[in-house]
Amino acid sequence: MACPKGRWALLTALFLFLGSFPFLAPQALAQQGAEQCGACHGADGNSTTAGTPSIAGQPRLFIENQLILIREGLRRSEAMEPVVKGMKDPQIIALSKHFSALPGKRVATSPLDKALAQEGRALAKRLHCGSCHVSTFEGQNQIPRLAGQREEYLESEMKAYRDGKRSGGDTIMAAALYGVKDPEIRALAHFLSHLDPSDRPSR
């Protein structure tokens, strides 16, 4: 039996409506959100905005976890909460794959201070940072890449962990940074930010 024209029109409209949501192909889902993410995190995922982290080259699982934590209100972020509110899992997965596949770049926001960087290197060794973030600081699984990350962002986040102000954070980080002084955190952030992630072996 032929379908009435009105019903075809309704079915077509419904198909187009549903097609703009999680049923899209992964590439389309990634593209749909990547432009919005790039406005703050950089078009290529390497941030040029103060206080905003680079997400290119971050481990896929880390990006997924953070987006879900923010979406579920377990990690507070005034800037991110409106963006991920209502975001479906397929789009989170697609975005995570997209940005984790982009090459991370060093985003050094200050000239290299060799003495300060050396102090930070020694501190990273003493605190066993490479045990989780791996020796190249490229991160792994749910552990973020630190190499080449924005210096002021690293410093701010480490202080938040130390002071118990980082919601949704790993308690291991709070314990690792317990008692670490502000100048030491600054040295550690300086050292890490000046590492070049493009020199790291690919995952």
- On whether both 138 and 191 belong to a single domain, the answer is yes
- Span 112-138, pLDDT tens digits: 999 999 999 999 999 999 999 999 999
Please report the pLDDT score of residue 11 as a whole number. Answer: 35
User: Domain range holding 65?
Assistant: 25-100
Please report the pLDDT score of residue 109 as a whole number. Answer: 85
- On whether both 87 and 132 belong to a single domain, the answer is no
Model confidence pTM above 0.75: yes
Contact of 46 with 104, CB cutoff 8 Å: yes
Please report the pLDDT score of residue 28 as a whole number. Answer: 65
Distance, CA of 97 to CA of 125 (rounded, Å): 31
Number of domains, the chain:
2
Q: What is the pLDDT along the chain (203 residues), one digit of tens a residue?
A: 444 454 444 434 433 443 444 445 556 656 667 788 989 999 999 999 999 999 999 999 999 999 999 999 999 999 999 999 999 999 999 999 999 999 999 987 899 999 999 999 999 999 999 999 999 999 999 999 999 999 999 999 999 999 999 998 888 999 999 999 999 999 999 999 999 998 754 44
Please report the pLDDT score of residue 36 as a whole number. Answer: 84
* Residue 64 placed within a domain: yes
The contacts of residue 166 (CB under 8 Å, 6+ apart) are: 157, 160, 173, 174
Amino acid symbol at 58 = Q
Domain stop point among 76, 100, 124: 100
Write the CATH number for 66: 1.10.760.10
